[in-house]
Chains A and B, each alone.
Chain A
Amino acid sequence: MKEKIAIKVDDLTVAYNFKPVLWDIDLSVPEGVLMAIVGPNGAGKSTLIKAMLDIIKPIAGSVEIFGKPYKKQYKEVAYVPQKGSVDWDFPTTALDVVMMGTYGSLGWIKRPGRQQKKEALEALEKVGMLEFRSRQISQLSGGQQQRIFLARALVQKASIYIMDEPFQGVDATTEKAIINILKELRKEGKTVVVVHHDLQTVPEYFDWVTFLNVKKIATGSVKDIFNDDNLTKTYGINYKVSVLQ
């Protein structure tokens, strides 16, 4: 393979209370792809990305980011969690949430300054949220909250972006805006991994795909492997991919 490998998952098994939710996953994500992780509910999609991010400890196997463990590479990775994972009533503004993305490069104790604020404002502009910068975060719509999360990831200036269902519960305009930014990131040579639910849009949005259902079913370019066979194996029912016609 000519490409550099951005994320390499080796024999990864994750269990909750001794019940495996991910079973011996081997996966290589080449640098510069825009990859969807698809699979039914409970397939372990979120768990897989959390294991990649070292948030969940596996019972076996390992993850490498550009050939090194996550702990040494965390500045290379930006994470966009599910919108519902935080309390949006937290007393803070949109700008402040985006600034949190700069904390990683600052390290402990050092405080964000003018430079960090400038970067955060630029990211807000990129996602079309500049005018909402002083808005209290509970006053934002679901789509706007998702854009704030994306902006927060953008200020991390990472090489790899990992997102958990960024299109869930957002309006069509936001979905378009997000996918445009993701495509732009890919153009800049970044690697983007997205947990995705809407199979219809996979060929339109992504160039790489991983089918997951506790075990890895298949991974590769959308052109080669996004077909009835893999969908049926993943979802367990006879799947018709109307989008491929």
Chain B
Amino acid sequence: MTSAQIEIQLIACIVAIACAIPGTFLVLRKMAMISDAISHSILPGIVIGFFLTEDLNSPWLILLAALSGIITVVMVEYIQKTGLVKEDTAIGLVFPALFSIGVILIAKNAGDVHLDVDAVLLGELAFAPFDRLLIGGTDVGPKSLWVIGTILLLTLGLLIAFFKELKISTFDKQLAATLGFSPVLMHYGLMSIASVTTVGAFDAVGAILVVALMIAPPAMAYLLIKDLKKMLVLACIFGVIAALAGYWMAHWLDASIAGSITTVLGMLFLAVYLFAPNSGLISVLHRQKRQKIEVHLLTFLLHLQNHREKSERHINHLNEHINWHKVRATSVVNLALKNNMITIDDHIISLTEKGKIFTTEAINYIITNKSAAIEDMKERFFLFRG
């Protein structure tokens, strides 16, 4: 690897971590779309900042752009408070308006400005190593690495200092207010960090990928883990994996780095969505299927218990009586046999002692809804689990 390659990957990883931290709280606050709004509406701030400073990495430009991010949030909230439109509509009204101001500003001054809309949307991570930071004539590394590194340190510092305040104001705004922690202050603090991070990452990865890096890693972590601290760590790890894999995918395909990272994020999310142990689609389907079998088994056993007469218990009558297809009836009978709940004697099905106890307890459970009893029961009877 050349040093430029290492620098690009380092920048991508730091951007990913810096985005995942505020992103986690945005996801938990159900404000994911606001990051989309911020990422677009900071454009006029960047353009105006660029006119004034002529330096994309100037701290003034970053502050100005972050300010237009905050203005977006304030405008969205103001429109929403009128009660005339809902929040998503308000977001959809505000950010295209601001973004288009930025687009017009770029177009009008295209001659003087080293900025174009493509770069804004997709970023130019590949060029990041060319813009060096020189201190007293010494090259200390790419400028964007210093910019996003500083932002990450700031974010981490604030996260560690105000973790408890962020957590409580995210979980229960009203409690936070009554305990003397201003939820409004935390809200705007988080929005400021999200805006500053967006601006800092913008130059490297562009407006679209910033959103992906803020939302996708926390969304994956949320599906896998139910602990805020671990969720933060996992979101950062997912971000870094996507950054590195995306870089090498771009290298291999000779394509946009930002586009490749976003693609990897999409594929990672799909994998988590399908295979997450408890909340993943496959696990949910599997659980539903199991529950369906359990209900059928119980229905069958109840029928046997309620109908002592032989004609009702003849195996050929089962289909008509419980109105099941042959396949399902066979599989349920086999299951009951396997668990020693029934015996079949000359085509007549009888409950065994174990089957009787199970049925009685199951009815008991359905009536009393005591979960402790059924948990215990499952251990003893539902042998086909696992």
- Residues of chain A touching chain B, judged by Cβ–Cβ distance below 8 Å, are 17, 50, 53-55, 71, 74, 77, 79, 81, 85-87, 90-93, 97, 100, 103-104, 106-109, 111-112, 136, 138, 152, 156
| A103 and B175 alpha carbons, distance in the complex (Å) | 10
Contacts of A55 in B (CB 8 A): 174, 177-178
B226 touches A103 (CB 8 A): no
Measured between C-beta atoms, what is the minimum distance from A38 to chain B in Å? 22
A86 touches B180 (CB 8 A): no
Question: Which of B72-80, B131-139, B165-173, B298-306 is found at the contact surface with chain A?
Answer: B165-173
Contacts of B227 in A (CB 8 A): 91-93
- Chain B CB within 10 Å — which of A50, A87, A93, A106 has the most? A87
| A74 and B177 alpha carbons, distance in the complex (Å) | 10
Label chain B's interface by main secondary structure: helix
Please tell me if B151 contacts chain A, counting CB pairs below 8 Å: no
Contacts of B164 in A (CB 8 A): 103, 106, 109, 111-112
Contacts of A100 in B (CB 8 A): 167-168, 171-172, 175
- Residues of chain B touching chain A, judged by Cβ–Cβ distance below 8 Å, are 28, 30, 83, 161-165, 167-168, 170-172, 174-175, 177-181, 222, 225-228, 231
| A136 and B138 alpha carbons, distance in the complex (Å) | 53
B181 touches A136 (CB 8 A): no
Instruction: From the candidates B163, B170, B177, B222, name the one contacting A54 in the complex (CB within 8 A).
Output: B177
Instruction: From the candidates A86, A91, A104, name the one contacting B226 in the complex (CB within 8 A).
Output: A91
| A104 and B174 alpha carbons, distance in the complex (Å) | 13
Measured between C-beta atoms, what is the minimum distance from B267 to chain A in Å? 24
Given known contacts A91-B226, A91-B227, is B174 in contact with A79 (CB within 8 Å)?
yes
Give 13 A-B contacts (CB < 8 Å), ordered by A residue: A54-B178, A55-B178, A79-B178, A81-B172, A85-B172, A85-B174, A87-B171, A90-B170, A92-B226, A103-B179, A109-B165, A111-B164, A112-B164
A108 touches B165 (CB 8 A): yes
| A111 and B159 alpha carbons, distance in the complex (Å) | 12
B161 touches A109 (CB 8 A): yes
Instruction: From the candidates A53, A54, A92, A108, name the one contacting B228 in the complex (CB within 8 A).
Output: A92
B174 touches A77 (CB 8 A): no
| A80 and B175 alpha carbons, distance in the complex (Å) | 8
Contacts of B83 in A (CB 8 A): 17
Contacts of B163 in A (CB 8 A): 111
| A71 and B178 alpha carbons, distance in the complex (Å) | 9
| A93 and B175 alpha carbons, distance in the complex (Å) | 17
A91 touches B168 (CB 8 A): no
Closest A residue by C-beta to B177: A55
Closest A residue by C-beta to B230: A91
| A57 and B178 alpha carbons, distance in the complex (Å) | 13
Closest B residue by C-beta to A109: B161
Contacts of B162 in A (CB 8 A): 108-109
| A42 and B326 alpha carbons, distance in the complex (Å) | 56
Contacts of B222 in A (CB 8 A): 91
Contacts of A104 in B (CB 8 A): 178-180
Closest B residue by C-beta to A112: B164
Known contacts A93-B227, A107-B180, A138-B226; 15 further A-B pairs (Cβ under 8 A): A53-B174, A54-B177, A74-B180, A77-B178, A79-B178, A81-B172, A85-B172, A87-B30, A91-B222, A91-B231, A100-B168, A100-B172, A103-B165, A111-B164, A112-B164
